[in-house]
Structures are given as C-alpha cells and as structure tokens.
Chain A
Amino acid sequence: MTRRQRRLTLIGSALAAVALAVALVLISLKDSIVFFNSPTDLVEKHIAAGQRMRLGGLVKEGSLWRGENLAIRFALTDGNHEVTVAYRGQLPDLFREGQGVVAEGAIDRSGMFQADTILAKHDERYMPREVADALKKQGHWQGETIKTDTTAPRRTLQ
C-alpha cells in the first residue's frame, strides 16, 4: 500500500464511522423523542390517542385514589385543565398531592392518560423544571411558596 492509499483508508474508515453514527442519531431522534405537554396543551393540541408523551403538572389535592392490586389514579392539573392519570405500580418516594410530577405514557380513547412511568425527580424544595415552566405559562406559578424557608438565612446575610 502506498502512503496515499493508507491515508485514504484511514480517512475513508473515519468518514464511514461518523456517517454510521450520524445515521443512527437521526433515525433514533425521529423515533424515540418524547414531547412534553401540560394538561392545557393536551386539550388545545388535540393529541391523538396512543401518542407517547410526557405530561406534567400538579397532583390535585385529594385526587389520589388507590385501587386493588396497586392501581393508582390521580388528577394532574395546571390550574386551567385537568387530566386523570392511571398508573399501576409504586409511586416514587417524592410523590405528594399538591406537588409537581411528570407522567410518561399515552392518552387512551376514553381520554384517560395511561402512564407507565411517574417521575417526581426533585426534592421537596423543587419542582420538575418542565412543570414549573408550564405553570408559569398558565399563570399559576407559586414558586415562592413552594420553595420553603431555605432561602431565608441567605436573605438575612445579604
């Protein structure tokens, strides 16, 4: 092999690997991305049943219902609209009524959201970022009351 051929092989294989990676990324991005919606989006956008997505909002106070065999239902609200979410399994430790959660799944024909994953990825001080933004958009942001007294000592220092 000449020097030129060697260089070409090297560059060629590099391009092939990169092309493979790009192709895989594009294919996967098309198929496996999940969009985030608030209950209001759900009503306004007329999303088809069976379309996978994430739904975020506050768990409505007093709406949590536990049935037989770990069946769970609760209402998810953003202040304007609410959606009933059905789930089977254990809720995360940080799940509380009145707090923000994100449910992943799809809406069924009867309009109920069938979740296979419930995320409450925050501690008691924080909201999931998407939920906070969605609530702000709906004008129901109460961030200051949700953030508890943690910031108090810092304020006295400033």
Chain B
Amino acid sequence: MIAELGHYALVLALGLALVQASVPMLGARRNDPVLMGVGGSTALAQFAFVAIAFGALIASYVRSDFSVVNVFENSHSAKPLIYKITGVWGNHEGSMLLWVFILALFGALVAAFGRNLPGRLKARVLGVQAWIAVAFELFILLTSNPFLRIPDAPVEGRDLNPILQDPGLAIHPPMLYLGYVGLSISFSFAIAALIEGRIDAAWARWVRPWTLLAWIFLTLGIAMGSYWAYYTLGWGGWWFWDPVENASFMPWLTATALLHSALVMEKRDALKVWTILLAILAFSLSLIGTFLVRSGVLTSVHAFASDPMRGVFILAILVVFIGGALVLFALRAPVLKQGGLFAPISREGSLVLNNLFLVCACGTVFVGTLYPLALEALTGEKISVGAPFFNGTFGPLFVPILIAVPFGPLLAWKRGDLLGAAQRLITAAAIAAVTIAVVFAVSPGGPVLAPFGIGLAFFVMAGALTEIVERTGVLKLPFASALARARGLPRSTWGGMLAHFGLGIAVLGIIGETQWSVEELRELEPGQSVSIRQYVLTLEGTTTRPGPNYRELAARFAVQRNRSLIGFMEPAKRDFPSRETSTTETALMRRGLSQIYVSLGELKPDGSVGVRIYYKPLVLLIWLGPVAMAMGGALSLSDRRLRVGAPKPARSKTALAPAE
C-alpha cells in the first residue's frame, strides 16, 4: 500500500511539475500576476508530493517490504536501520528519486525564500526548474520505477552491496546531490534571464547565494566522498581520477568559476554573457555527470546500475537541455547589453584569470574523462586515461591559479596596482621561501618539486591572512580599533579569506600525502612486527567474530613509538554471506594531522596474514581544507548584503527577520 502511495504521489508530482512548467511561463509572457503566482504554489506542492514519494520508499525499506523489487534487491532484514535508510539511495532507482527530491527542494526554496525576486524572473526560474523536474520524473516513472512489486514476495532481500554499507553512504550522496543538483537553480536563473532578454547586476546578486549554497554542499560532498573512498577501499588512495569522481569535480570547477565571475558582474556590471554561459555549463556538466554515472556507460567503483534503455533516455535529456540552453544562449546573448571593459591589472582582471584557468583545468578533466569513451565509440580501440594524464595537465594549470589567488583580493576594482599588491605580499612570499628552505633542509634528497609545492601552499595561506591583516590594520593600529575594524568587515570578506585559506590547507595536505607517504606490504605471523617511520606495529593475533549481517576477520596490532605503547589498531575483513562478497575495514590512527593506515589482506592457513600499512603525513589536511572552504562559503552566505539584495527601506528589515 505504501509503495502504491509513493508511486501515485510521484505521478501527481509530475502533473504539478507540468503545470509549474507552463502556467508561470505564460503568466510571465502576459505579465499576469495570478498566472505567475501559480509557480510558487506548484513548486511547494510538487516538492511535497516528491517528498511523500521519497518518504514512501524509505518506509518500504525500513519495514523491509520485500514485495517491492527495489527493496528486495537492495535490502536485508538483518541490516542495521541506518543502512536500511541509506540503502534507499544506494541503488539506481532510489538515487534518481533522491535526485528529483533535491531538484524539487531547490525549487521550493526559491518559492519560499525568493520573496525579493521580481515576479517575472521568479516565475520563469520556477518554470525552467519544472522543465528539468518533468524530464527526470518521467525518466523515473518510465524507466526506473522504484515502486514496482513482485507478485510472490520473497522472504529475504538480496542485501545492499556491502561496500556501500558504511556511514559514508548516509552523507556523501545527499551532500553531493545537494551540490550538483542545486546548480540547477543557477541554470534556471540563466535560462530565465535569456528568455527575458535582460540581465543586470541585480541578477548576479540574486543568483550568487543559490550558487554559493550549492557550491558549499558540492565541496563537502566531494571531500566526504574522497575520505570515504580512502578508508573503505583499502588502497590508501583518496582520489583516483575515476570518471565518477570527475563527474562531480567538473561541476565544482565550473561552479567555483561561476561564483567568481558573478562577483564581477554584481560589483562591476561586466562579464555578463560569460557568467550566463558558466551557469549553463555548470549544470550541463552536472547532467553529463548524471549521464556518466547513471547510464552504465562506464563500469567503475561507483557503477551499481546499468541498463541501456536508461542511458538513451538520459542522453536525450542531456541533448535537449544542454543543446536547447546553448541554442537559446547563441540566439539571445548578442541581445544582452554588454558590460564595460576593464584594465587587465585589476580585481576584475584577476577574477578573469581565475576563470580562465579554472575553465581550462575543467576542460582537461573533461577531455580525460570522455576521450576514452569517444575513442571507443568511434574506433573500438580501448584505452584508459589514468592519473598520469590528469596530474600532467590539471597540475600545471592549477599552479598559476594558486600563485594568483593571494593577489586577487589585494587588487582594487577597475584599476589595480600589481606592484603595490606584490609589496604587500612580501611577508607572505618570505614565509613561503622560508618554508621551502626548511623543507629542503629537513628532507634532503626528497622529491625536488615537493618543497616548492609546500611553499606555494604556505603562500596561499599567508596571502589569505595578509588581506585580513591589511584591512583590519592589526599590526599598525591599537588592538581595540583593529578589533572594531575586524567587526566592521563584511562577512563575505571573512568568508572569502577562509575559503582561500582552506585551499592552501588542502594543497598542503595533497603535497604532504603524495610526496612523503610511506607504504609497507608484509606478510605477518602473530608476534611479528613492522616498523614504519618512527612507529612499530606488532601483530598480536587474529580473531573471527560475527556482526549483524556479516562475519569478520579482525587482526589486532599494538602500536609503539619509542618503545612505549600508544594504542591498538584493528583492521578487519568482512564477509557478507548474502552477497558472497567481502569488504576491507581499514584501521586508522591519527597522529597530529597525519595518519597510520592499516588494511588487511588474506589470512593464510598457517595463521599468517597479509597487511598493507601506510604512514600518511598531513593527510587529514586534504579534507580539512575543503571543510574550511565550505565554512568560508557559509560565512559568506550569511552576509546580509547577499541575502537582502539591493538596499531597502527600514520596514523590510523586520519583514525579512525570520530568514536570519
């Protein structure tokens, strides 16, 4: 009954989306406020019905209703409750429903909180949002219905793929989808502006918070996914340049560029056409990502669904939306009033540089991801493009960005003073130089480029602090007045500083881990030990024990440093009888910002066991950096200027209070 309710709710949501896709558009054309008003209410209602459908699927999982095919294929009655719930999006059908749920959520958010948007723009934004919803709701209902029943219900389910039975599944996909499905809003804003044929600085001010919101979640989602892969796959890697990872990374790069170009548009009324194009591209890359992951066109760590019919359907959605948007762009862009030009050395100029390199870097990832597919489709030749390609292209393109990051905020709008900015960055550069020298001194004979990488990371971090030091005058003024100036700084300034600082942190972690990571592969009998860096790990023994829906083989290691015991580590290998698969549970021990990483291999009949041990210096910074970036984004989002928009009379301040 619950499944039928969900199915019915989804059909109703499709009906509402059809209304939302047409009526407000018509209203905006005729300038009819009543018809335009339909957009808001249908967006909220559509969201409510998608939420009911999503809730119904969750309920079927929680109740282990194996008469529903999707539940039967992906759940098991002995599974812990959290994995019953997260299993909902651990499969193709459920994850598409989550996709649509988040799409509708963003539509509803615009309907509820977009009160200061002009009526016509809002109506059109919601209309475009509904076009996407119609396409994907049809996709679910026609090709990927999660509510199908089995006539004779099986007693037990086939269980969720054990690799996915992890708390990571509870956080990573929802975060990631909030990010890249959230970019649909920027897309809808761009299409609405193109239909309207008018675009101004205010548009950028309205679109920026939504893009920022999506970007924050995308940043966290990617970082979370990386950490999950790191501890769950047992290979010690945190980024594989896997097509599925690239699928989420390309929208991130474009969205980052979009955030920066929207800044230029908002402040200087320039780069309008470019900003619109970026908004279209960011979501187009999200759609391409969805296609790559959901169509089964590639088989990779994440590919847990494949069906050719679905692939063709998503490809059609892709062609219609991306093609349609670009055609509309080509037709309308010349009509848009061009913004002014600016001096190359200026804040705008630095943001253009940032955009150029981000987009080029994104382009190389795009080529590396799609070239093998295209080549195979055209010639049948099978190749793989791996990490060396991406390191060789993406790396060199990212270095100029990192060098430029500290300069940007120190340059003035319109006409900047590069020499002045360079002078103010002397301290930061000196810190970087000292770091390079220290790293060379501490680890002689190490990788040559690594100390420079570390120096660059410190340059980015110190550069971010320079801006704040300059603007608060903390080194020149008395503390109290510096504090007052710090309070007076807009939160978006603090946010930008924190985000740039986070970038430096992440680079530091990436260089530290990739250049100084140590690996030991051993076969150990109980009592034997391995030393790695200054740590000694001794295998105490192995045990087998039952879990809720698996049996695990666990090994216990005593970890010593300078002959004193600092703790125990227990890596394990789990066998899931319901799927006849096993997973590796790595053991991690944090040492400052570094980690010791142990993953277990095969147990031999003689009692010896294969282990892979890593010492990973600074590895935690790889994920703390993005967290700082996301916090910077959140801080910026909380800036009143962004939310409220154009200055308004005092009365509106109280009216907007609940949004605080």
Residues of A within 8 A of B (CB): 1, 3, 6-7, 9-10, 13-14, 17-18, 20-21, 24-25, 27-29, 31-36, 54, 66, 68-70, 88-91, 93-94, 104, 121-124, 126-130, 133, 150, 153-154, 156-157
Interface residues of B in 349-393 (CB under 8 A from A): 352-353, 356-357, 360-361, 363-364, 367-368, 371, 381-386, 388-389, 392-393
**Partner among B72, B163, B306, B397 whose Cβ is within 8 Å of the Cβ of A21:** B397
In the complex, A1 Cα to B343 Cα: how many Å?
8
In the assembled complex, B556 has its CB within 8 A of some CB on chain A: no
Chain A binding surface, main DSSP class: helix
Q: Can you list 26 A-B pairs with a CB-CB distance of less than 8 A?
A: A1-B343, A6-B343, A6-B344, A9-B344, A13-B353, A20-B360, A28-B388, A28-B389, A29-B385, A33-B383, A34-B384, A35-B383, A36-B384, A69-B523, A70-B522, A91-B602, A93-B163, A93-B234, A121-B301, A121-B303, A129-B299, A150-B73, A150-B158, A157-B69, A157-B148, A157-B150
In the assembled complex, B300 has its CB within 8 A of some CB on chain A: yes
In the assembled complex, B601 has its CB within 8 A of some CB on chain A: yes
As a 0/1 sequence over residues 601 to 633 of chain B, the CB contacts with chain A under 8 angstroms (1 = contact) are 110100000101000000000000000000000
In the complex, A36 Cα to B367 Cα: how many Å?
19
B304 / chain A contacts, CB cutoff of 8 Å? 123
Known: A28-B392, A32-B385. A89 touches B521 (CB 8 A): yes
Interface residues of B in 579-601 (CB under 8 A from A): 579-584, 599, 601
In the complex, A122 Cα to B301 Cα: how many Å?
7
Asked if A35 contacts B353 (CB within 8 A), the reply is no
Interface residues of B in 150-175 (CB under 8 A from A): 150-151, 154, 158, 161, 163
**Partner among B344, B357, B393, B521 whose Cβ is within 8 Å of the Cβ of A70:** B521
> Shortest CB–CB separation between residue B341 and chain A, in angstroms?
5
Known: A34-B383, A35-B381. A91 touches B601 (CB 8 A): yes
Residues of B within 8 A of A (CB): 69, 72-73, 148-151, 154, 158, 161, 163, 234, 298-301, 303-304, 306, 341-344, 352-353, 356-357, 360-361, 363-364, 367-368, 371, 381-386, 388-389, 392-393, 396-397, 521-523, 573, 579-584, 599, 601-602, 604, 610, 612
- B72 nearest CB neighbor, chain A only: A153
> Shortest CB–CB separation between residue A124 and chain B, in angstroms?
6
B356 / chain A contacts, CB cutoff of 8 Å? 13-14, 17-18
A128 / chain B contacts, CB cutoff of 8 Å? 299
Asked if A90 contacts B386 (CB within 8 A), the reply is no
In the complex, A36 Cα to B357 Cα: how many Å?
32
**Partner among A6, A66, A121, A150 whose Cβ is within 8 Å of the Cβ of B342:** A6
Asked if A20 contacts B386 (CB within 8 A), the reply is no
Asked if A156 contacts B150 (CB within 8 A), the reply is yes
Known: A1-B343, A33-B389, A93-B234. A154 touches B383 (CB 8 A): no
In the complex, A32 Cα to B392 Cα: how many Å?
9
In the complex, A13 Cα to B354 Cα: how many Å?
12
**Partner among B364, B388, B584, B604 whose Cβ is within 8 Å of the Cβ of A93:** B584
**Partner among A3, A127, A150, A153 whose Cβ is within 8 Å of the Cβ of B150:** A153
Asked if A123 contacts B581 (CB within 8 A), the reply is yes
Asked if B69 contacts A153 (CB within 8 A), the reply is yes
Which of A14, A25, A27 gathers the greatest number of chain B CB atoms within 10 Å? A25
- A102 nearest CB neighbor, chain B only: B384
Known: A9-B344, A90-B601, A157-B150. A123 touches B357 (CB 8 A): no
Which of A17, A66, A156 gathers the greatest number of chain B CB atoms within 10 Å? A17
Asked if B364 contacts A156 (CB within 8 A), the reply is no
- A5 nearest CB neighbor, chain B only: B344
B342 / chain A contacts, CB cutoff of 8 Å? 6
Known: A21-B397, A129-B298. A33 touches B599 (CB 8 A): no
**Partner among A31, A66, A154 whose Cβ is within 8 Å of the Cβ of B392:** A31
In the complex, A21 Cα to B362 Cα: how many Å?
10
**Partner among B382, B582, B599, B604 whose Cβ is within 8 Å of the Cβ of A130:** B382
B599 / chain A contacts, CB cutoff of 8 Å? 90
- A15 nearest CB neighbor, chain B only: B356
Known: A90-B234, A91-B601, A91-B602. A24 touches B521 (CB 8 A): no
B363 / chain A contacts, CB cutoff of 8 Å? 21, 25
In the complex, A21 Cα to B253 Cα: how many Å?
15
- A131 nearest CB neighbor, chain B only: B299
> Shortest CB–CB separation between residue A65 and chain B, in angstroms?
12
Which of B298, B342, B610 gathers the greatest number of chain A CB atoms within 10 Å? B610
Known: A1-B343, A157-B150. A94 touches B352 (CB 8 A): no
Which of A54, A123, A124 gathers the greatest number of chain B CB atoms within 10 Å? A123
Q: With A24-B364, A157-B149 given, can you name 12 additional A-B contacts, CB distance below 8 Å?
A: A17-B357, A21-B397, A27-B392, A28-B389, A32-B385, A68-B523, A70-B523, A123-B304, A123-B579, A126-B306, A127-B299, A157-B150
Asked if B523 contacts A25 (CB within 8 A), the reply is no
- Top 6 nearest A-B pairs (CB, nearest first) are A32-B388, A36-B382, A21-B360, A90-B601, A28-B392, A24-B393
A20 / chain B contacts, CB cutoff of 8 Å? 360, 396-397
In the complex, A89 Cα to B353 Cα: how many Å?
45
Asked if A90 contacts B610 (CB within 8 A), the reply is yes
- B357 nearest CB neighbor, chain A only: A17
Asked if A123 contacts B161 (CB within 8 A), the reply is yes
Known: A24-B397, A156-B150. A126 touches B521 (CB 8 A): no
In the complex, A124 Cα to B581 Cα: how many Å?
7
> Shortest CB–CB separation between residue A40 and chain B, in angstroms?
14
A13 / chain B contacts, CB cutoff of 8 Å? 344, 352-353, 356
Asked if A24 contacts B386 (CB within 8 A), the reply is no
Known: A31-B392, A32-B388, A90-B599. A25 touches B382 (CB 8 A): no
**Partner among A14, A18, A121, A133 whose Cβ is within 8 Å of the Cβ of B300:** A121
> Shortest CB–CB separation between residue B500 and chain A, in angstroms?
21
Known: A18-B360, A91-B601. A156 touches B151 (CB 8 A): yes
In the complex, A88 Cα to B343 Cα: how many Å?
58
Known: A93-B583, A150-B158, A153-B150. A25 touches B602 (CB 8 A): no
In the complex, A6 Cα to B381 Cα: how many Å?
46
- B67 nearest CB neighbor, chain A only: A153
> Shortest CB–CB separation between residue A22 and chain B, in angstroms?
9
Asked if A33 contacts B343 (CB within 8 A), the reply is no
In the complex, A148 Cα to B363 Cα: how many Å?
40
In the complex, A3 Cα to B270 Cα: how many Å?
14
- A157 nearest CB neighbor, chain B only: B148
- A67 nearest CB neighbor, chain B only: B523
> Shortest CB–CB separation between residue B323 and chain A, in angstroms?
23
In the complex, A150 Cα to B91 Cα: how many Å?
13
B384 / chain A contacts, CB cutoff of 8 Å? 33-34, 36, 54, 104
In the complex, A157 Cα to B643 Cα: how many Å?
51
- B161 nearest CB neighbor, chain A only: A123
B368 / chain A contacts, CB cutoff of 8 Å? 25, 28
In the complex, A154 Cα to B610 Cα: how many Å?
41
Asked if B150 contacts A93 (CB within 8 A), the reply is no
In the complex, A129 Cα to B385 Cα: how many Å?
15
**Partner among A6, A25, A88 whose Cβ is within 8 Å of the Cβ of B367:** A25
A156 / chain B contacts, CB cutoff of 8 Å? 150-151
B360 / chain A contacts, CB cutoff of 8 Å? 17-18, 20-21
